[in-house]
Every structure is written in structure tokens, then in C-alpha cells.
């Protein structure tokens, strides 16, 4: 195994949404390996995050992000959906979680007998921050939340699309084991449009109109890689800023809308920008569950307001983030590969 280039530490304290745009050290490119694991590559140092032989966090030797050797086991992680919009990084080779320590260093937990199915502790929980300001990339796993009703969009039995059973704040999404129906994968279609696939139901979200009645439902079972070309499954994302979007169907010229106990559509509109700024049932907050392959992210500690950082070849550290940084939504349509492992 090649020797690493330095220790992983953390930044000074900052809130998760306040990541400075000029901080390069805390940014990591998400790389999915052929065997279904996730690796994190730091573009500043051109190295991968790694669990060292002493079980401390370090870095690999220099390597481009697009080529991680098949025998690099210490650079491979499982992205665990920990709930509440948080993740944990589990290292299957050593059977440990990545953690942030009180002294701002990065390390690992004790060996976990039950593997990544064990609930991670507070020091092992992180929030993904889209440092590249791209929420909505193809392959991203998300949840959709409406603040007015404090509920999530869910895919349920048969072709049913409805709202989550309990009222939950957007940052209180239960983990996948409890709420699998509220997860959606963004799939690219064409012409700047996307489709939303339920990995739990293996079906796509679809708008259905019959006469004056419009509702949301699921298609028959289809793989994420087998997105239909039907107009009813294609949506355009209208960005309202700060992670808030509307979903517009060009064919029916309607927006998806949530009710207190159901999901339907708005009335017909002229175009995707023909909406009221006062709408609150048609506006959804995007909650990032699992980053897309190739996206650039930061990893923010739940218990400490720091993000994992690589400062130089010999100093991998922790940093924090100034007011004013905002989440923006950008959708890129392109080839989409299905990468899944474990909970996430």
C-alpha cells in the first residue's frame, strides 16, 4: 500500500451552510469505485482520504481522482445514511467509522462488530455540504420536503405517491432503515429535464392527468438505468434559491404540489416561470442524502462546527465557514450510472 501524505484534521468552527467559496482544502470529490464503495479525493493535494495502518485518518500518495487502484482498500468507504440529513463514513476494511475528535483531529471509532448497520455516534455523524454549490446533479440521492406541511414526498405501495406519515422538519429525516420511501435518485433524461427514481420501490415519479384531475403516481417497476422517455415522467427544476425548487412538467404545463395528505398538481400555467412567489405548497426543499459521483462536497461534523480538511501534503486539518455562502441548485443532464452499497 502506498504511503500517505499527511494527517487529516478539521477547520476552525463554522456552521455547515457557511462554507467559504475560496476554501479548497475542505473540498472532496466523490468517486464511486467499480465495486460499489465511495472514495473521497482532495483536488488541492491530488490525494485520497485514507485510514492509515494506525487507524488514524491520513492521505494516500498522489493519484488523480479518476483512477483509484483496485487494491487500495484503505481508501474505500461505505456512505451510511444516518438520518436527519446526515451521513457516516464506514471503513469496511477495518470495520470502523470515521470520526472527528475533540482536539480537531480526525480519527476512527473502535472496531464495530455489527459493521455499518450499527448506529453511528455523535462524533461519527457528518452533514454533506455541497462545496461546489451543485445540488441536483445527476445521480444524487435526495429527499423533498414542503415546509408548509412539514412533510416529505414519499413513494408507497403500488403506484401511490403521497406524503410522509409524520410531520418532520427538513433536517430531521429519519435514516433509510426507518423511512426508505422518502428517498429519490435524480436521473438525467434530455433537454435539461430530469426524472426522479425511487430506489426502494424501483419506480419513477409520474404526473397523471385525466380530464380535470391531476395527481402524482409511480410507474411500473423500472431500473434507475431504464428511465422512460414518457413526457409524464420528465420534469424541469425551477430554482428558487437556497435549496428551494419547483418541479415543472412541460407536457402537462403543471407544477407538482403537496397537500396535507396527498400529492397532486397545480392548475395549468403558460410556462415554467409562470408561478407566484407566494406559493408554498409547490415549493420543495432539496435534502441531500447521498452525493452524486463526481460532485465536490465538504464534510461537516455534527457535534463540532468544523469540516474535514487537507491543508497541504503534510497537514490534513479542520476548518470552519463565513456568512453569506448560499446553496444553489444546478441540474446537469448526462450519463447516469447506478452506484449503490449498504444503506445509502
Task: Provide block-wise average pLDDT over 10 residues at a time, the chain (344 residues).
Answer: 47 47 69 89 88 90 90 94 86 93 86 84 84 59 95 96 94 89 90 91 97 96 91 93 90 97 96 95 91 77 74 47 31 35 33
Query: For 182, phi and psi rounded to 5 degrees?
Result: -95, 5
Query: For 172, phi and psi rounded to 5 degrees?
Result: -115, 30
- pLDDT, residue 343, reads 32
- pLDDT, residue 22, reads 54
- pLDDT, residue 16, reads 39
Sole residue written with cell 465557514: 321
List, in order of start, the domains of the chain with CATH numbers: 9-134+293-319 (2.80.10.50), 141-289 (2.80.10.50)
Burial degree of 116 (CB within 10 A; 0-12, 13-18, 19+) = buried
Q: What is this structure's pTM?
A: 0.68
Q: What are the counts of helices (DSSP H) followed by strands (DSSP E) for the chain? A: 0, 25
- pLDDT, residue 25, reads 60
- pLDDT, residue 7, reads 53
Closest CA to 209 of 282, 153, 272, 265: 265
Start-to-end C-alpha separation, the chain: 27
315: three-class secondary structure by DSSP: strand
Sole residue written with cell 455540504: 129
The answer for 300, left when phi > 0, alpha when psi is -120 to 50, beta otherwise, is beta
Amino acid at each position: 500500500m502506498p504511503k500517505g501524505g499527511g494527517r487529516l484534521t478539521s477547520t476552525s468552527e463554522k456552521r455547515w451552510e457557511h462554507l467559504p467559496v475560496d476554501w479548497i482544502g475542505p473540498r472532496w470529490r466523490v468517486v464511486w469505485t467499480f465495486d460499489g464503495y465511495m472514495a473521497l479525493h482532495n483536488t488541492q493535494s491530488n490525494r485520497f482520504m485514507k485510514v492509515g495502518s494506525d487507524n488514524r485518518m491520513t492521505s494516500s500518495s498522489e493519484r488523480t481522482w479518476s483512477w483509484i487502484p483496485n487494491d487500495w482498500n484503505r481508501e474505500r468507504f461505505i456512505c451510511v445514511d444516518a438520518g436527519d440529513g446526515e451521513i457516516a463514513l464506514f471503513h469496511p476494511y477495518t470495520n470502523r467509522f470515521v470520526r472527528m475528535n475533540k482536539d480537531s483531529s480526525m480519527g476512527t471509532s473502535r472496531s464495530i462488530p455489527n459493521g455499518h448497520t450499527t448506529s453511528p455516534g455523535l462524533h461519527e455523524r457528518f452533514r454533506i455540504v455541497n462545496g461546489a454549490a451543485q445540488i441536483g446533479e445527476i445521480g444524487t440521492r435526495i429527499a423533498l420536503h414542503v415546509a408548509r406541511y412539514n412533510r416529505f414526498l414519499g413513494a408507497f405501495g403500488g403506484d401511490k405517491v403521497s406524503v410522509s406519515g409524520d410531520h418532520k422538519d427538513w433536517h430531521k429525516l429519519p435514516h433509510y432503515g426507518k423511512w426508505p420511501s422518502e428517498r429519490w435518485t435524480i436521473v438525467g433524461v434530455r433537454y435539461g429535464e430530469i426524472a426522479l427514481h425511487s430506489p426502494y420501490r424501483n419506480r419513477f415519479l409520474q404526473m397523471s392527468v385525466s380530464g380535470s384531475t391531476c395527481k402524482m403516481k409511480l410507474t411500473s417497476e423500472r431500473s434507475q438505468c431504464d428511465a422512460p422517455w414518457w413526457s409524464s415522467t420528465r420534469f424541469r427544476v425551477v430554482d428558487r434559491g437556497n435549496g428551494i425548487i419547483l418541479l415543472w412538467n412541460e407536457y402537462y404545463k403543471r407544477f407538482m404540489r403537496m397537500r396535507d395528505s396527498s400529492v397532486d398538481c397545480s392548475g395549468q400555467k403558460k410556462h415554467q416561470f409562470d408561478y407566484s412567489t407566494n406559493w408554498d405548497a409547490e415549493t420543495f426543499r432539496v435534502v441531500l442524502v447521498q452525493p452524486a459521483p463526481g460532485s465536490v462536497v465538504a464534510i461537516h461534523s455534527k457535534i463540532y462546527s468544523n469540516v474535514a480538511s487537507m491543508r497541504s501534503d503534510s497537514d490534513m486539518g479542520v476548518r470552519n465557514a463565513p456568512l453569506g455562502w448560499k446553496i444553489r441548485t444546478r441540474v446537469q443532464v448526462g450519463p447516469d450510472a447506478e452506484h449503490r452499497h449498504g444503506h445509502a
